[in-house]
A and B are shown apart, each in its own frame.
Chain A
Amino acid sequence: MTRVLASQVPVLIVLLVLGTVAKISVVRSGREPGALARLGPAVLMPGRLQRPSLLVCAAGELVLAVGLLVSAHPLFRWGTVAFFALSTYVLLELRRRRPDAGCGCFGEVSSAPVGLRSIGRTVVLTGMALMAVWAGAPGWMAFAHPAWGFTLAGVAVLAALSPEIDELVDRARHRAPCEQRRGPQEGVSLARLKSSGPWRAHEADLASAEPYDSWRELCWRFFAFQNHERDDVVFAVYLAGRRPAVRVAVVSAESLPEYTTVSA
């Protein structure tokens, strides 16, 4: 039983180290505010704190990884649980407040908007960290006597939940990033919008089923409609993927943005 519980510890350690390396490389690459890519929970921080917050996060991950590797102290085990639980909350908050930002979990590879997969991944990681609490042995023991079946199962679940894998495949095929590719036709994006959940939630309020304005910016196509109160309803459709992320906001005619709940 202990082996089963300990089987995910190597996965956690490797992921934490990868996260540290990726975040530090983002900071080292000299990304500045006003940059084209908006990345990670750091966008929730004020400008001058963005770099330090990424570094603090990276340092925290490294401490947890080393702690998990060399000791079985409950401090590190529960610390990891807390870290991933907190990440889940931060991602939910990021998705609510800055739906265009990527999770930044693995640096710039994670620049796609936060979706259910990224959030599901942190939930699974929280579960794995909870299993590790009762594993009882330091991480190097798990590396020395791996329970291959369970470890690989954990890796497979995480891979399925990682949007970064798709991105890495695209990079390996030398495709231009989404914001430089010619997007799908306006009609195709409109059809994708009309098969989405946010559309069904707002369809009844719209005065017309045809947008009065549509434009593309970076990787998003926007469609502006008017509802029966003559407020603007604007939908943003992500241009990559068959079932793209869709965001919606209702903006009153006095142009004060009024936020509605976001769903994809």
Chain B
Amino acid sequence: MGYPSVERRRVLAAAALGREAAAPGPGPEGGDPLHAVTGEILDVSPHLIAIETPDGRQERLVIAPWATAWHGGDVAPADLPVHATVLMRALRDGKVVERIWADTVRLTGTIVSVEGRKDVTVELDCGPHRGHRTIVIPYRATGRLRVRHPQFEPGFLFDAIGIRKDGATLALLPATSQPAYPARAVPPPPPSYAGAQSRISGTVTWSDVFDAQERGAAYPMVERSDAGCPDAGVSCAALPYLAIGSLLQVQNVCANRSAVVPIVACGCVAGRFCDRCVECGTSPRGRIAELSPASYVELGGDLVNGCFNAQIGLG
């Protein structure tokens, strides 16, 4: 039999345990819902942006007067290059754009090799499902990245935000302070036994390896045999085991928004980061989920900040 759809697992689990099967979607709090719109720029002016969405439709959106854009640095929306791939945070049913990220990528993984003296070329191991990735750190960004990645050698973790430019992937901003341990030596979760925990706090990040408009999360604590992922089941937050297909309720503590997102992948790289998010206050240690860019933006996160303080519960 083929690999069953994840919705089927939810229905079956709900039936066996007599629960109501929940559905993914945004939570009630937070006011006007945010929409993530993805596409390729066809034309852009100070007040309007025309894009082609991944499914081939053309859309014209209004750029709000207070809107800002990011393309390797803060730019005016009208200065974005045509044919750039953008992810936009939009209000009013996805018609009014207030934040644009162009060609933004997230480079998360274990350092495999470091080469070069001025512009540094780094090969990253992004986990068994995502393969290897070669990135370039331009000379002007090396200082900024190296100061947050003091162990710049193979076997240590790397996490940066950058852009795609002329076919190359450039790392520009550090997305976190590098954990001080090698990727294979993740500290164990704190030995807390407070009974069944109701909510788990930590940091939620994003990753660019999801499909363009996919809403979902990668979750570190899945059984290795189920997910076919030999590196899964590692986390320094005390996370419960869930399955691909389970629903996760993610709450952005900073923006007070919540959403129910399905777990669509194994977050084996995210589980190796025992870092904190300092977006609003200091979160407890540990990445509890890695969201797709669309889900992350709809929860009020900013791609350039790289994380938000979050709580999760079972959806």
A interface residues (Cβ-Cβ under 8 A, vs B):
29-32, 34-39, 96-100, 108-109, 111, 171, 174-177, 179-180, 182-183, 185-186, 212-218, 220, 222, 224, 226, 232, 234-236, 247-249, 251, 255, 257-259, 262
Interface-forming stretch among B64-72, B139-147, B240-248? B240-248
- Is B241 within 8 A of A218, CB to CB? yes
Beta-carbon nearest neighbor of B198 in chain A:
A35
Q: Report the Cα distance A217→B249, complex, angstroms.
A: 15
B168 beta carbon closer than 8 Å to chain A:
no
- List 15 A–B pairs whose Cβ atoms lie within 8 Å, in order of A's numbering: A37-B196, A98-B18, A98-B19, A180-B238, A183-B223, A213-B4, A213-B9, A216-B241, A216-B243, A218-B240, A218-B242, A222-B243, A234-B16, A236-B17, A251-B15
Partner of A34, one of B1, B197, B222, B249: B249
Please, how many residues of chain B have a CB less than 8 angstroms from a CB on the other chain?
A: 42
Q: Report the Cα distance A39→B1, complex, angstroms.
A: 36
- Is A251 within 8 A of B11, CB to CB? yes
- Give A224 Cβ to nearest chain B Cβ, in Å: 6
Q: Report the Cα distance A108→B198, complex, angstroms.
A: 10
- Is A224 within 8 A of B195, CB to CB? no
CB-CB contacts of B234-263 with A at 8 A, as 1s and 0s?
Answer: 000011111111100100000000000000
Decide if the interface of chain B is mainly helix, strand, loop or mixed.
loop
Q: Known contacts A216-B226, A248-B16, A255-B8; is A179 also within 8 Å of B241 by CB?
A: yes
- Is A257 within 8 A of B241, CB to CB? no
- Is A257 within 8 A of B14, CB to CB? yes
Q: Known contacts A180-B240, A215-B245, A217-B242; is A108 also within 8 Å of B196 by CB?
A: yes
If A180-B239, A234-B16 are given as contacts, then 11 extra A-B residue pairs at C-beta distance below 8 Å, sorted by A number, are A36-B200, A38-B19, A98-B18, A99-B17, A100-B17, A108-B195, A179-B241, A186-B225, A216-B241, A217-B243, A236-B16
Beta-carbon nearest neighbor of A235 in chain B:
B16
B interface residues (Cβ-Cβ under 8 A, vs A):
1, 4, 8-9, 11-19, 21, 189, 191, 193, 195-200, 221-223, 225-226, 233, 238-246, 249, 313-315
Beta-carbon nearest neighbor of B240 in chain A:
A179
Partner of A224, one of B12, B191, B240: B12
Chain A residues with CB below 8 A from B226, complex form: 186, 214-216
Chain B residues with CB below 8 A from A100, complex form: 17-19
Q: Report the Cα distance A190→B241, complex, angstroms.
A: 18
Q: Report the Cα distance A186→B244, complex, angstroms.
A: 16
Partner of A249, one of B15, B196, B238, B242: B15
Q: Known contacts A34-B315, A213-B4; is A177 also within 8 Å of B16 by CB?
A: no
Of A29, A35, A39, A180, which is in contact with the most chain B CB atoms at under 10 Å from its CB? A180
Chain A residues with CB below 8 A from B200, complex form: 36
Partner of B12, one of A98, A183, A234, A259: A234
Q: Known contacts A176-B238, A215-B244; is A111 also within 8 Å of B195 by CB?
A: yes
